[in-house]
C-alpha cells in the first residue's frame, strides 16, 4: 500500500547513492532548443480544450514516449484531461543534439509548452524525466501548475555503473549489424541478465529505410558522454530557487534513487510536496501501474495536483 510519509530511515540507501550538495554545476556548452516529438492522448468524453491544463509525461534515460502509452491513455480517460507524452532530446523520434543535461532538456519542454500554447500543464516525469520536471519547475514556475516526480530527487548523485554497461552492450550490437532482435538480445545478455530491462533497451532498435540491419536510434556516443553529469542537479541553493506549487514525489521502496537523507532538501526546494512510497523498484510505473493509477495514490494525486477534479 502507498504511504504518504516515511516513518523510519533506510540507511542502506546512503551507501548506494552519494549526495553531493556542495559540488557546483557547470556547463560550457551552449544549447539550442530541440522540437520534441510527441503523442497526444485525448480523453474520450469531454469538451475540455486540448490547451487547458494538459498533462505532459516524460520518460527516463533510454526510454521514449511509447513507454508511458498505456498509463497516459488511462490518465486521459480517468481524469478527462489531454495527455502529451514526449520524447526528450536524443531519445525516440526527437532530434539529436550534442548537449544532454537537465537545463537543456527542461528548456526543450519550455519550448514545447510555448509552441503548443499549453496553459497550466501538469508535468509527470520518471527518473531523468523527473529531474527534468523539477528543473523546469524551479526555473519557470509560472509556466506550469504542478508536478509529479517519480523516483528521483533534487540531488547530485552517482549513477549506477549499469548505464555505462548498457552503452557498451548497445555499441556491440550496432557493430554486429544484427538483422534480428533475438540476435541483439543474445549479445545484450552478457551485459544485463534481466529480460525486462533488455526488452526495454532493445525497444530503441529500428531499421533504416531499405535496410535489413537494425541499429539503435538513440545517439550512443552523446548519451555515453553525458553519463558523468546525468546524476547531477543544476540547482544547489533552495534560497535562490523554490517551487511553491504542489509537487508529488513517488518513490519505489526497493530503489535507491530517493534516500531518506534527501527528503529535507526536497522540502526546501518544493515546500508543498508530498511523498508517497510504492513497493517497487526504480521502474515504479511499469512495475505497479495499478497502484500508480488507483487507490490511495490516485486520491492523493487528484487532491494534490488536480484540485478541479472530484476524488
Query: Does residue 127 carry a catalytic annotation?
Result: yes
Longest dimension (CA), the chain: 58
Question: Among 72, 94, 127, 255, which one carries the catalytic annotation?
Answer: 127
CA–CA distances in Å: residue 208 to residues 76, 107, 179, 220: 33, 30, 11, 16
Closest CA to 150 of 71, 217, 77, 96: 71
Return the number of other C-beta atoms located less than 10 Å from residue 240's C-beta: 8
In 12-139 the beta strands, taken as DSSP E runs, fall at: 38-41, 55-58, 83-86, 122-126
Partner residues linked to 41 by β-bridges: 83
**First CA to last CA across the chain, in angstroms?**
18
**Please, which residues have CB within 8 angstroms of residue 248's CB and are 6 or more apart in sequence?**
146, 147, 148, 149, 273, 274, 276, 300, 301, 304, 305
Tally Cβ neighbours within 10 Å of residue 8: 6
Among 59, 82, 126, 282, the one annotated catalytic: 282
- The residue written with cell numbers 505532459 in the block is 56
Is residue 72 annotated as part of the catalytic site, yes or no? no
Task: Specify the residue for cell string 509527470.
Answer: 124
**C-alpha grid cell, residue 31:** 544549447
- Which positions are catalytic? 127, 282
Amino acid at each position: 500500500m502507498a504511504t504518504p510519509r516515511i516513518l523510519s530511515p533506510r540507511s542502506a540507501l546512503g551507501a548506494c547513492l552519494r549526495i553531493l550538495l556542495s559540488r557546483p554545476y557547470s556547463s560550457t556548452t551552449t544549447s539550442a532548443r530541440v522540437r520534441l516529438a510527441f503523442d497526444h492522448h485525448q480523453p474520450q468524453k469531454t469538451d475540455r480544450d486540448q490547451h487547458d491544463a494538459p498533462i505532459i509525461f516524460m520518460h527516463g534515460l533510454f526510454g521514449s514516449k511509447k513507454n508511458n502509452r498505456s498509463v497516459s491513455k488511462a490518465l486521459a480517460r480517468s481524469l478527462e484531461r489531454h495527455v502529451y507524452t514526449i520524447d526528450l532530446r536524443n531519445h525516440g523520434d526527437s532530434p539529436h543534439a550534442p548537449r544532454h543535461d537537465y537545463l537543456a532538456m527542461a528548456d526543450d519542454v519550455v519550448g514545447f509548452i510555448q509552441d503548443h500554447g499549453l496553459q497550466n500543464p501538469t508535468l509527470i516525469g520518471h527518473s531523468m524525466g523527473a529531474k527534468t520536471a523539477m528543473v523546469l519547475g524551479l526555473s519557470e514556475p509560472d509556466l506550469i501548475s504542478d508536478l509529479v516526480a517519480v523516483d528521483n530527487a533534487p540531488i547530485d548523485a552517482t549513477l549506477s555503473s549499469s548505464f555505462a554497461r548498457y552503452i557498451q552492450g548497445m555499441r556491440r550490437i550496432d557493430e554486429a549489424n544484427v538483422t534480428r532482435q533475438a540476435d541483439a538480445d543474445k549479445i545484450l545478455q552478457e551485459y544485463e541478465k534481466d529480460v525486462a530491462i533488455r526488452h526495454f533497451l532493445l525497444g530503441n532498435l529500428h531499421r533504416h529505410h531499405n535496410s535489413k540491419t537494425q541499429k539503435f536510434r538513440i545517439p550512443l556516443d552523446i548519451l555515453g558522454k553525458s553519463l558523468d553529469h546525468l546524476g547531477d542537479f543544476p540547482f544547489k541553493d533552495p534560497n535562490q530557487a523554490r517551487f511553491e506549487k504542489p509537487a508529488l514525489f513517488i518513490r519505489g521502496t526497493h530503489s535507491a534513487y530517493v534516500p531518506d537523507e534527501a527528503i529535507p532538501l526536497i522540502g526546501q526546494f518544493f515546500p508543498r510536496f508530498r511523498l508517497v512510497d510504492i513497493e517497487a523498484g526504480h521502474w515504479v510505473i511499469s512495475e505497479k501501474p495499478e497502484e500508480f493509477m488507483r487507490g490511495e495514490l490516485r486520491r492523493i494525486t487528484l487532491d494534490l495536483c488536480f484540485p478541479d477534479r472530484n476524488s
